[in-house]
A and B are shown apart, each in its own frame.
Chain A
């Protein structure tokens, strides 16, 4: 198993080794030690590799990920799994701002709390947060699913498009054009799958409330003419 100790190895050597992996092969698992808050750890992977990072990382860990499973045994800085395309990223601790921003696909699991702007402009990713999320989460989220086992901060889902938001705890406030929606059978089924994918067995999908777009911002309303 390749082991990269970032206390003694350049970050670039690690990322180049990950980029050199065969896209369709079955690579050996990677282990990364002593990340010490470094930025851009394990970014831009496009191979079905398992990467375990032992320690906390800084900005943009596992950004642009395709296919890989990246596990961080620690906390993650801003922009974890930003623009992920596919694969899975698991943060065992907390994640800072804009986790999963603009991500198109894959699964991001945050076992602790995520701070502000979690899932901002998400475009198809599934995000499961076991703890709480901060303010302005899912701002302008376009598609995908955000599942929160704890509470959500202010202005959840502001200017939301078609992403689905599921919150088990309280929501401090909803953003513009975000509203509570009915949980139908298809949503229970979806949540059951997402919780299972995230390895969560002790929480029932029925405990969640669904939020989505009221779709009033989609088209210009002539009643608002005076505001322009």
Chain B
């Protein structure tokens, strides 16, 4: 099954509530997938600074003294904000690659969950309410975000197998479904130089979109190509720095409901996920059509 949610705010006054609204939506979807949960949130863009969300199975040891160790490795002015098993490292944008390789040397157990000027990503094994509580997601503000609660089918129940997947700067994807041509696509994407961390099918979808956008396509165009190139069942909700997109495969078995008001665009695997949103009673509510790309941009 899996449950997916997304919220793209149009009304700035709702931004302080983004984390709380998304958390409530995701917790409602718990019975669609209790294995693991995750969320990606787009917050304020900071001039010339990039955020790396990292994760460690041993956060106390790995995050201790990390700023100092990075400084010694030549990464100046890195700041680190630990949050449970994750931490957000902020560095100047020209040091992103250097920071990644320094981390590989200094802290081999640390994984980079995602990078970007606006996006932070948090995911762990466990029930949505516990995962969201660990990272205090409901206190977070932002412009848009997506979330996922997983019932694993194609790969192991691990932190790295949880969604959202991020394979490009400020890009992330959540998936309900299963792909059947992911092994072949993974080989092709690897040959193109795109880095994949797991054996998970959904990560391949994320990497595919990253690859298409790297060729100059916008999010909507990349999602349109996905309809031709990805084989299998999927409902995807995708975030970029300023955009939010939804696409379902042509068979459209995996459920999806959308709602739009003047204040937001919302996505849920089921209507239940949307019932606590402000003004939902008067929202336009619809089921996204199969093989049809929907996307919004700030």
Q: Which A residues fall within an 8 A CB radius of B?
A: 36-38, 56, 58-59, 75, 77-78, 94, 96-97, 115-116, 134-135
Contacts and interface: CB of A to CB of B under 8 A. Distances in A.
Contact of A97 (B250, B255, B274, B289): B255
A137 to B, nearest CB: 13
Contacts of B255: 77-78, 96-97
Given A97-B252, A115-B252, 17 more contacts: A36-B272, A37-B270, A37-B271, A37-B274, A37-B275, A56-B285, A58-B270, A75-B285, A77-B255, A77-B271, A94-B286, A96-B255, A96-B257, A97-B253, A116-B252, A135-B250, A135-B252
A77 B290 contact: no
B253 to A, nearest CB: 8
B104 interface: no
User: Do most interface residues of chain A lie in helix, strand or loop, or is the interface mixed?
Assistant: loop
A135 B290 contact: yes
B229 interface: no
User: Do most interface residues of chain B lie in helix, strand or loop, or is the interface mixed?
Assistant: loop
B287 interface: yes
Given A36-B275, A96-B255, A97-B255, A77 B270 contact: yes
A84 B287 CA distance: 24
30 contacts: A36-B275, A37-B271, A37-B272, A37-B273, A37-B274, A38-B272, A56-B271, A56-B285, A58-B270, A58-B271, A58-B272, A59-B270, A75-B271, A75-B285, A77-B255, A77-B270, A94-B285, A94-B286, A96-B255, A96-B257, A97-B253, A115-B252, A115-B287, A116-B252, A116-B290, A134-B252, A134-B289, A134-B290, A135-B250, A135-B252
Contacts of B273: 37
Contacts of A38: 272
A170 B26 CA distance: 39
Contacts of A37: 270-275
Contacts of A97: 252-253, 255
Interface string B267-298: 00011111100000000011101100000000
Contacts of B252: 97, 115-116, 134-135
A80 to B, nearest CB: 12
Contacts of A78: 255
A77 B273 CA distance: 12
A135 B292 CA distance: 13
Contacts of A59: 270
A58 B270 CA distance: 7
Nearest to B271: A37
- Most chain-A CB neighbours within 10 Å: which of B271, B272, B273, B286? B271
A38 B275 CA distance: 10
A58 B289 CA distance: 18
